[in-house]
């Protein structure tokens, strides 16, 4: 267990009795406030990649769920090309039927998810400011596609571009009930990370943190990639207590199941 320097105490999550996991018990699943999750049907998800267990679980838990997904790196051809390649190797006895079956299942799962009536998929890069209108979106553009009377949950995992949109998140914070955000490259961008978190804390409270073990820890002991769950300050409890030791048993799991999770602790 790494004991973090007291200067990182700004990251300590406020104790929350409603924590639950949405998505699988590996990379792609996140810890959220389940009571807030029940109240709001709209989710904007920045970053999908090859795992949509969070989004799919959100839909399964909510009959009226509406999910807007943004990812410029994902489309059907990302799954078709490896399938064709695998098929060619299969007919020349260089791949097993199991390999071909797995590739085909990945394609089917992707097509099935994207075509769900609850899902709207935008193959657009999230950035700020927008440079290419047809290929990029920012917070304003994404939020404009949902009625301004509707508050929502926002999930962000965009591999480093999160730092570009922090001020835009603040601008639309009144509509964001819960924010799930993964920060990357803390070994290189610790100053930007600290600044970003402190800006967000003007509007939100941290209720959970988890280190992504696909990356190591920085020299300070802080995970290089860290998942942070925040709630609107309208939910701030009267009595504030902090949780100091992570990961949490039965809620947190290694993003990479083949490696040990990242253990760290805040000063009391």
- Starting at the edge strand found earlier in the chain, the sheet holding 264-265 runs 2-3, 264-265, 245-246
Q: Enter the pTM of the model.
A: 0.93
* Residue 202 dihedral angles phi and psi, to the nearest 5°: -70, -20
- Residue 207 has a pLDDT of 98
The reply to whether 102 falls in a domain is no
The parent domain of residue 185 ranges over 2-74+123-265
CATH number at residue 35: 3.40.50
**Are β-strands 136-137 and 2-3 bridged in parallel, bridged antiparallel, or unpaired?**
unpaired
The strand pairing partners of 9, in sequence order, are: none
Q: How many domains does the chain have?
A: 1
- Tell me the C-alpha distance between 170 and 128, whole Å: 13
18 within domain boundaries: yes
Asked, for residue 92, whether it belongs to a domain, the answer is no
200-251 pLDDT per residue, tens: 999 999 999 999 999 999 988 999 999 999 999 999 999 999 999 999 999 9
CA-to-CA distance for 246 and 210, rounded, in angstroms?
7
Q: Is residue 109 part of a domain?
A: no
Residue 47 predicted with pLDDT over 80: yes
In the prediction, which pLDDT does 93 show?
83
The answer to whether residue 62 is domain-embedded is: yes
Return mean pLDDT, the chain.
93
Compute how many other C-beta atoms are within 10 angstroms of the C-beta atom of residue 251: 15
Task: Report the residue count for the chain.
Answer: 268
């Amino acid at each position: 267990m790494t004991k973090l320097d007291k200067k990182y105490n700004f990251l300590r999550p406020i104790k929350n009795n409603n924590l639950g996991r949405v998505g699988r018990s590996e990379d792609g699943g996140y810890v959220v406030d389940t009571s807030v999750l029940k109240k709001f049907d709209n989710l904007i998800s920045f970053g999908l990649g090859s795992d949509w267990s969070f989004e799919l679980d959100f839909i399964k838990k909510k009959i009226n769920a509406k999910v807007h997904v943004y990812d410029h790196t994902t489309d059907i051809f990302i799954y078709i090309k490896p399938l064709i390649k695998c098929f060619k190797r299969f007919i020349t006895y260089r791949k097993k039927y199991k390999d071909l079956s797995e590739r085909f299942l990945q394609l089917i799962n992707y097509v099935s998810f994207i075509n769900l009536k609850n899902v709207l998929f935008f193959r657009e890069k999230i950035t700020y400011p927008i440079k290419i209108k047809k290929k990029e979106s920012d917070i304003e553009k994404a939020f404009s596609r949902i009625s301004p009377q509707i508050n929502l949950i926002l999930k962000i995992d965009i591999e480093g571009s999160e730092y570009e949109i922090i001020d835009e998140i603040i601008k639309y914070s009144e509509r964001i009930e819960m924010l799930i955000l993964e920060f990357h490259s803390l070994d290189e961008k610790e100053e930007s990370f600290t600044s970003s978190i402190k800006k967000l804390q003007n509007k939100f409270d941290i209720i959970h943190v988890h280190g992504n073990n696909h990356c190591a820890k920085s020299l300070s002991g802080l995970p290089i990639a860290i998942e942070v769950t925040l709630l609107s300050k309208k939910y701030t409890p009267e009595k504030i207590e902090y949780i100091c030791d992570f990961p949490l048993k039965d809620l947190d799991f290694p993003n990479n199941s083949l490696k040990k999770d990242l253990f760290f602790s805040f000063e009391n």
